[in-house]
């Protein structure tokens, strides 16, 4: 009957749409496919952010933790450090919330919230970390921890350069997620601490699927078998449904009027932006390529990361080169700030995606079978690009990275942009292989979540373990 209690999972999302979206999708599947109830806990009030809220399915309950003071942190404190502090200071509030949660069967903090794991231990509840990123990120995290086993506290070592990972993934220093590049960065110590806590989790859920990173899956399987790391469950890809996307249908109406497979979609995620100079070069490159395009233009910045100060306000379209919009009126559409991306990528007119390689964008592209031009800007985007260009093989690099992979921000020329687009859209060898692989990955992703698919079975295995754990019924647990 309906009043039969169900085991209840509490999921904890660190701030940022990129963290919330996949965790919300995980929660929805636990409720709709696996017979659990779920509460998604956030640090910020979702009701004040309609964009974020629209991503949370109705079947999932939400709760937000009371805000904590962070005023004492220096203004230049790195974003990751601010996040870790936010989580640490919120733990008492989380303890209160968890203590009053009925039928609690598991706690699932995302990768930045592992400070909550000891709380699960204290309450005697199973705990699973959720990695919204991929196994490559988890492998780096594991490596940095192993590198510091037996090393006195306060002593930090750099990761090797290049860092060789399973499946032939080789990351040069410049390709590592920013915070892993130097042991001298203050956030490095936090990462080690964060990664050490993962070892005490009962499992790790990762937003990837077998065919995306087969060698890494096998490596982690082996590690779990040897007791060297908790069991890892590839349970993705978690992509929100296009129907859940709010907003502007002007792009979709425009796409409806374009021929099938003709449009290049250009977007750098929720936080990526280009310099003024690079914006002009990209405009010229799109124009020179002659392809139809849909470009989500954001306010320019100097370092690739969105500027939230005075620069961050205003109309980004005003920064496009003089006359560009008029000249390309028949070929392209530039929209300010935001497009309903899942619907754009799944539209039959869309043929290619020029992307910053954020992991959500990547999985959306995979799910829609759209090949990519990889244009990473910051954070872990270069690492994702290396995986996509290399072992996955569904992206072509653009510009300086295609030449020498230099870590510096260099302007990508219009010629390089047009060349990469031409290769991706029509190239008979490299481009063709990438286009074909995008189609194959799309099928693999769909299969992973089909009834007998690998990701679905992996999540079912976890759900079965949670249901079988008698603690959620209030029964004594002896282990």
- Annotated catalytic residues are 19, 110
Helix/strand/coil for 332: strand
Give the nearest residue (CB) to ligand UDP. 358
Write out the DSSP string of 105-159.
EEEEEBGGGGGGHHHHHHHT--BEEEESS-HHHHHHHHHHHHHTTTPPTT---PP
Give min distance, CB of 118 to ligand UDP, in A. Answer: 28
Token pair of 101 as six digits: 């949660």
Q: Which is nearer to ligand UDP, 209 or 359 (CB)?
A: 359
Q: Which is nearer to ligand UDP, 328 or 360 (CB)?
A: 360
- Rounded to whole angstroms, the Cα distance separating 17 from 360 reads 10
Query: Among positive and negative, which fits the CA dihedral 67, 69, 75, 78?
Result: negative
- Rounded to whole angstroms, the Cα distance separating 332 from 355 reads 17
Give min distance, CB of 248 to ligand UDP, in A. Answer: 10
Q: Which is nearer to ligand UDP, 21 or 385 (CB)?
A: 21
Give the binding site for ligand UDP (CB under 6 A): 17-18, 21, 267, 269-272, 296, 338-342, 358-361, 364
Q: If we measure between CA atoms, which residue out of 467, 25, 9 comes closest to residue 236?
A: 25
Give min distance, CB of 298 to ligand UDP, in A. Answer: 8
In 268-371, where do the E strands start and end? 292-297, 332-336, 350-355
Residue pair 313/307 in contact by the 8 Å Cβ criterion: no
Give min distance, CB of 104 to ligand UDP, in A. Answer: 29
Give min distance, CB of 350 to ligand UDP, in A. Answer: 13
Query: Which residues does 185 contact at the CB level (< 8 Å), separation at least 6?
Result: 78, 179
Token pair of 259 as six digits: 């021929």
Would you tell me how many other CB atoms lie within 10 Å of the CB of residue 16? 18
Give the DSSP H/E element, type plus range, for residue 80: helix 79-99
CA distances from 430 to 93, 224, 391 (A): 53, 37, 14
Q: Which is nearer to ligand UDP, 198 or 378 (CB)?
A: 378
Give min distance, CB of 378 to ligand UDP, in A. Answer: 8
Q: Which is nearer to ligand UDP, 84 or 359 (CB)?
A: 359
Give the DSSP H/E element, type plus range, for residue 214: helix 214-225
Q: Which is nearer to ligand UDP, 37 or 362 (CB)?
A: 362
Give min distance, CB of 255 to ligand UDP, in A. Answer: 14
For residue 179, give the DSSP letter: G
Q: Which is nearer to ligand UDP, 341 or 454 (CB)?
A: 341
Would you tell me how many other CB atoms lie within 10 Å of the CB of residue 228? 12
């Amino acid at each position: 009957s309906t009043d039969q209690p169900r085991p209840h999972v509490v999921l904890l999302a660190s701030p940022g749409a990129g963290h919330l979206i996949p965790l919300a999708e995980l929660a929805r599947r636990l409720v709709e496919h696996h017979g659990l109830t779920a509460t998604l806990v956030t640090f910020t009030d979702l009701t004040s952010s309609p964009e974020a809220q629209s991503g949370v399915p109705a079947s999932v309950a939400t709760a937000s933790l009371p805000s904590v003071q962070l005023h004492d942190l220096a203004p230049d404190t790195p974003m990751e450090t601010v996040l870790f502090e936010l989580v640490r200071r919120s733990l008492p509030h989380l303890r209160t919330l968890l203590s009053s949660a009925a039928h609690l069967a598991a706690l699932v903090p995302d990768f930045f919230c592992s400070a909550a794991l000891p709380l699960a231990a204290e309450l005697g509840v199973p705990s699973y970390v959720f990695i919204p990123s991929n196994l490559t990120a988890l492998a780096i995290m594991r490596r940095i921890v192993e590198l510091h086993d037996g090393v006195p506290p306060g002593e930090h070592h750099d990761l090797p350069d290049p860092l060789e990972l399973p499946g032939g993934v080789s990351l040069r220093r410049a390709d590592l997620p920013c915070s892993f590049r130097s042991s001298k960065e203050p956030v490095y110590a936090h990462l080690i601490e964060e990664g050490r806590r993962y070892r005490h989790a009962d499992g790790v859920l990762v937003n990837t699927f077998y065919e995306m990173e087969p060698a890494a899956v096998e490596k982690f399987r082996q590690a779990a078998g040897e007791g060297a790391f908790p069991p890892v469950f590839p349970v993705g890809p978690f992509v929100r449904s296009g129907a859940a996307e709010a907003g502007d249908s002007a792009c979709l109406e425009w796409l409806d009027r374009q021929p099938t497979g003709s449009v290049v979609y250009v977007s750098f995620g929720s936080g990526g932006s280009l310099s003024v100079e690079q914006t002009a070069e990209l405009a010229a490159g799109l124009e020179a390529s002659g392809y139809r395009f849909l470009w989500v233009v954001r306010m320019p910045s100097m370092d690739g990361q969105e500027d939230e100060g005075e620069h961050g306000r205003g109309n980004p379209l005003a920064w496009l080169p003089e006359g560009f919009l008029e000249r390309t009126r028949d070929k392209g559409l530039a929209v300010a700030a935001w497009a309903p991306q899942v619907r754009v990528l799944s539209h039959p007119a869309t043929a290619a995606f020029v992307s910053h390689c954020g992991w959500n964008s990547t999985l959306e592209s995979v799910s829609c079978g759209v090949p990519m031009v990889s244009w990473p800007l910051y954070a872990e985007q270069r690492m994702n690009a290396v995986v996509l260009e290399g072992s996955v093989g569904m992206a072509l690099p653009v510009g300086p990275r295609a030449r020498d992979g230099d870590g510096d921000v260099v302007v990508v020329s219009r010629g390089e942009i047009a060349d990469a687009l031409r290769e991706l859209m029509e190239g008979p060898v490299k481009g063709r292989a990438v286009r074909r692989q995008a189609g194959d990955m799309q099928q693999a992703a769909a299969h992973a979540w089909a009834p007998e698919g690998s990701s679905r079975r992996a999540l079912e295995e976890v759900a079965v373990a949670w249901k079988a754990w008698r603690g959620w019924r209030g029964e004594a647990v002896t282990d």
